[in-house]
Structure 1
Amino acid sequence: MAKRLIYIGLLLGLVTIGQPQNPPSSDTFDRQVAAVLALIKAPTFPKKEFRVKAGDDFQRDVNHAIEACHKAGGGRVVVPKGEYVCNGPVRMLSSVNLHLSDGVVIRFGTNPADYLPVVQVRWEGTVCYNFSPLIYANGQKNIAITGNGTFDGQADQFWFAWKKQPNGDDQEKAKTILRKMGETGVPESERIFGEGYKLRPTLLEFYDCEGILLDGFTARQSPFWTIHPVFSKNITIRNLTIGHGITNDDGIDPDSCEDVLIENGNISTDDDPISIKAGRDQDAWKRRGTRNVVVRNCTLRSRIANGFCVGSELSGGVENVWVDHCTMPNVTQGITLKANLDRGGFVRNVWVRNVTIDSCRQAAIRMQMDYHSYRGGNFPPDFDQITFENVHVRSARDYGWWLVGVPSKPIGLVTMRNVVIDQSGKGNKSELTNLQTDQ
């Protein structure tokens, strides 16, 4: 497929060909990004240092150092070089920078009882109380984790059994119960999981926090989603290396967050390396969404999923997202916006440019409103004002783009500018649209 300049306005059974009334202008991208970056300020900390004096209980020792630093007005908590087993969560507090020295490896224990009592989380888009994430904060300000050390969630040593053998159906039962609670409006205080259920914890979850810096470390083998800020704002995530877990191991998932910078990441997961989220179905409709997210200079690999994704939990709405200079060497699908008819919400003002997709096994650009777990609702989301610019796809086994709308909610304006697809096995596909393009 030769290089082309394409403007596509997708309506129910209609297509606008040629120049739309107000097409996005490529020279505004940097200006818009600069305006968002001006809102994001990485936290700073007092020049005080607290060293973790690791004895026979690392989890106790690291949390004591964090508490001491917090009570003293803040500073840096340094974990000295070494390998540690942390039998329970690390609990972050305001004004603390947890710094991992070179050579630090922290392996989290695999006894679920160590991650009790339950804490407030958002589990796959629905708020509840569950096992603590391995690293957790709630309602804190100005917190950081820095340094070149490694967090190892040891998913392959234990947590995978909760997804597969011998009790793989237990998690599905718990998910069904939780989603029904969210759908029917059961009070959050009554959504108690943890012991007796098998909802795996995330590796890092900061809930309702402000002023977050995550810089330099490696995270691998997460039991569930890896980096998961929720209802938080002013977030800088940079220079992270994220390795495979087992399944549902999303790399970075900002969830109902505002003013987020993700840059210089090297992410290799089974599931989505980066997925922008905003809650699930009715439980999220009256909560805040996600807005003002910049993703740049990242390398994204996935064995079974998308390179960059919005959804499928997007019910609070996702808007103002810019993706720039990212590479996807090997993914199942490249850039995906996904939802189903239960979701509601919207995705608008998403701009992806300067992206290279070396190889994808399905579609390089995918929009779908027929994603799985549909319960029979009639609440399709709005997809509108989506721009792809300077996207180079070397090989797509199935489709260059594959766009799926529904009659009750047609996809809005999609602009493709300088999209180059060297090879696609099945060409391009649109469903419930009469898609044409300017050659």
Structure 2
Amino acid sequence: MLIQPSRRDLLRYGGLVGAGALLPATALAAADPWHRAADIARTVRAPVFPPRRFDITVFGAKGDGVTLNTTAIARAIETCAAAGGGRVLVPAGDFLTGAVHLKSNVELHLLAGATLRFSTDPAQYPMVFTRWEGVELINYSPLVYAYKAKNIAITGAGTLDGQGSPEHWWAWKGPWGGTAEHGWREGMPDQRKSRAVLFQMAEDRVPVEKRVFGDGHYLRPSFIQPYGCENVLIEGVRIRRSPFWNVHPVLCRNVILRGLDIMGHGPNNDGTDPESVDMMLIEDCIFDTGDDCIAVNSGRNEDGRRLGVPSQNILIRNCRMKQGHGGITVGSQISGGARWVFAEKCRLDSPDLWYAIRFKNNALRGGLLENFHYRDIHVGQVGRAAIACDFNYEEGAKGRFTPILRHITIERLRATRATRVLDSQGLPGAPVTDIALKDCSFDGVTEPSILRHTERVALSNVRVNGKPVQALDQLQPF
């Protein structure tokens, strides 16, 4: 069944999480922005479900790893929703399934020993309205999908296995420079042509309902995507081998990711990509990924500007980042803007982690990025720089939109081994501005920092390789 928005939906989405959703600016919050972070933690609450239970095996599901259980799981979800909500239970076993579509007031709960193993047959993922690399379209359903639902959850101690591999899904990427073998060889079909067509459609303002892809286009589905949803909880489960992005909430409000163990080293296996979200808590999660661990987004180029919905009011705490391109990242699909992102008490450590804190933008994206506050961040090892601000990402200066990145405060960051402290490269006429480093130390530094088109960088009690520095030209190895 094709799920797509009405024209009214397309016009109203900007109002779901618009600027009016910002928290009140009190004098106290203005003096200490971390009061806003505390407000996010207090305000975001997990959905509560009625005490009803719907075991998928009662509806005919078999955990033998062979039987396709898509219909049985859908029946359990539909029955649960029709009854007014509750818990759809996945018991211990290996349950093969196609796309799972959640409905309002439904909690999908996986017991310990339970695996939802998602089919590698693209035919098991019907066409739906979705967003792919920041652009709206009609494409394969994400493996777990919800559209305009309220009060939904995925919880438990079980595993969701997307079965991404060099044999399935990953080769659709085409050429890729990742650390894992992904299966593509010269002459094999891949996403490149369709990706370019989709992006041009967005630039030309082709109506979303006419951007129909799917079979023959090789645009991989995301793993978990709540779209336009309110009150979302994803907690406790293990998420493995995604075809594409792992957890991708779009235009959602009031979202919690808690205690997740996300691992997949395939192409674009981002851990989570909050896109145009408002009020989100990410805590106690482990990310071990083939791309950015966390990447805050808000739409690509013309599509991001058309919707114009920023990501805002996001709190990240007590998370562990292992392999990935960036640990805590903003961008690059960021044309709708981002603001008020907080991160604290996180540990980032891997020789295959490029950057600990990363911002990506360019002159085709544009967008206003401001008010980022990070503290008590422990960096064991990163392969490149501890902190990166990059306006040259992908197309760089080849555009007519001005990227803005300002007001970044990083306190008490400790890096044991970082090749560089800071790699900040704005554009002529579009500098990165107002970076403050306070009470930070960077050891194992072997290369000087790079600062181009970057203004107003303030250092307070910063040490590099054990020695105090007061000036930017001292951000280099001694």
Whether the TM-score (by the shorter chain) exceeds 0.5 is yes
1:278-427 alignment runs, 5 A limit: 278-287=298-307, 288-303=309-324, 305-330=325-350, 331-374=353-396, 376-397=398-419, 399-427=420-448
Match for residue 430 of structure 1?
A: 451
Q: 1:70 aligns with which of 81, 87, 92?
A: 81
Q: Is the deviation greater in 67-76 or in 404-413?
A: 404-413
Match for residue 124 of structure 1?
A: 133
Partners of 1:280 and 1:265 in 2: CA distance: 27
Partners of 2:347 and 2:33 in 1: CA distance: 19
Q: Cα 1:422–1:26, aligned 2, differ >3 Å: closer, same or farther?
A: farther
Kept in 1: contact 2:171–2:190 (CA 8 A):
no
- Report deviation, 1:413: 1.3
Kept in 1: contact 2:433–2:454 (CA 8 A):
no
- Report deviation, 1:169: 5.6
Q: 2:285 aligns with which of 254, 260, 265?
A: 265
Q: 1:189 aligns with which of 209, 215, 219?
A: 209
1:102 to 2:112 alignment? yes
| Identical pairs, percent | 35
Q: CA RMSD in A?
A: 1.8
Given residue 133 of structure 2, which amino acid in structure 1 is its aligned partner?
E
Match for residue 172 of structure 2?
A: 162
Match for residue 83 of structure 1?
A: 94
Given residue 415 of structure 1, which amino acid in structure 2 is its aligned partner?
A
Q: Cα 1:364–1:169, aligned 2, differ >3 Å: closer, same or farther?
A: farther
1:59 to 2:81 alignment? no
Q: Is the deviation greater in 155-164 or in 189-198?
A: 155-164
Kept in 2: contact 1:106–1:152 (CA 8 A):
yes
Q: 1:149 aligns with which of 151, 158, 181?
A: 158
Match for residue 103 of structure 2?
A: 93
1:113 to 2:123 alignment? yes
Partners of 1:148 and 1:168 in 2: CA distance: 38
Partners of 1:62 and 1:25 in 2: CA distance: 46
Partners of 1:434 and 1:39 in 2: CA distance: 35
Q: What secondary structure sits across from 1:395 in the alignment?
A: strand
Structure 2 unaligned regions, length at least 5: 1-27, 175-183, 460-469, 472-478
Partners of 2:129 and 2:30 in 1: CA distance: 42
How many residue pairs align between the two structures? 412
Given residue 100 of structure 1, which amino acid in structure 2 is its aligned partner?
L
1:45 to 2:49 alignment? yes
Q: Cα 1:320–1:91, aligned 2, differ >3 Å: closer, same or farther?
A: same
Match for residue 239 of structure 1?
A: 259
- Report deviation, 1:262: 0.3
Q: What secondary structure sits across from 1:120 in the alignment?
A: strand
Kept in 2: contact 1:356–1:392 (CA 8 A):
yes
- Report deviation, 1:58: 1.3
Partners of 1:245 and 1:154 in 2: CA distance: 12
Q: What secondary structure sits across from 2:382 in the alignment?
A: coil
CA displacement, residues 220-263 of structure 1 (integer Å, 9 cap, x when unaligned): 10000000000111001100000114110000110000000000
Q: What secondary structure sits across from 1:99 in the alignment?
A: strand
Kept in 2: contact 1:63–1:90 (CA 8 A):
yes
CA displacement, residues 124-183 of structure 1 (integer Å, 9 cap, x when unaligned): 000111101000010100000110100111111411121242455630111101111111
Given residue 318 of structure 1, which amino acid in structure 2 is its aligned partner?
A
CA displacement, residues 264-322 of structure 1 (integer Å, 9 cap, x when unaligned): 0011001111111111011111321111000000001124x111100001100100110
Kept in 2: contact 1:155–1:245 (CA 8 A):
no
Partners of 2:138 and 2:396 in 1: CA distance: 24
Kept in 2: contact 1:76–1:96 (CA 8 A):
yes
Partners of 2:235 and 2:342 in 1: CA distance: 20
Kept in 1: contact 2:414–2:441 (CA 8 A):
yes
Partners of 1:224 and 1:189 in 2: CA distance: 23
- Report deviation, 1:376: 2.4
Q: What secondary structure sits across from 1:77 in the alignment?
A: strand
1:200 to 2:220 alignment? yes
Kept in 2: contact 1:329–1:357 (CA 8 A):
yes
Q: Cα 1:228–1:401, aligned 2, differ >3 Å: closer, same or farther?
A: same
Given residue 133 of structure 1, which amino acid in structure 2 is its aligned partner?
P
- Report deviation, 1:26: 11
- Report deviation, 1:332: 1.1
> Which of the pair has the greater relative contact order for Cα pairs under 8 Å at 6+ separation?
1
- Report deviation, 1:411: 1.6
Q: Cα 1:435–1:57, aligned 2, differ >3 Å: closer, same or farther?
A: closer
Kept in 1: contact 2:229–2:252 (CA 8 A):
yes
Kept in 1: contact 2:249–2:277 (CA 8 A):
yes
Kept in 2: contact 1:340–1:370 (CA 8 A):
yes
CA displacement, residues 200-229 of structure 1 (integer Å, 9 cap, x when unaligned): 001101100001000100001000000000
Partners of 2:390 and 2:400 in 1: CA distance: 15
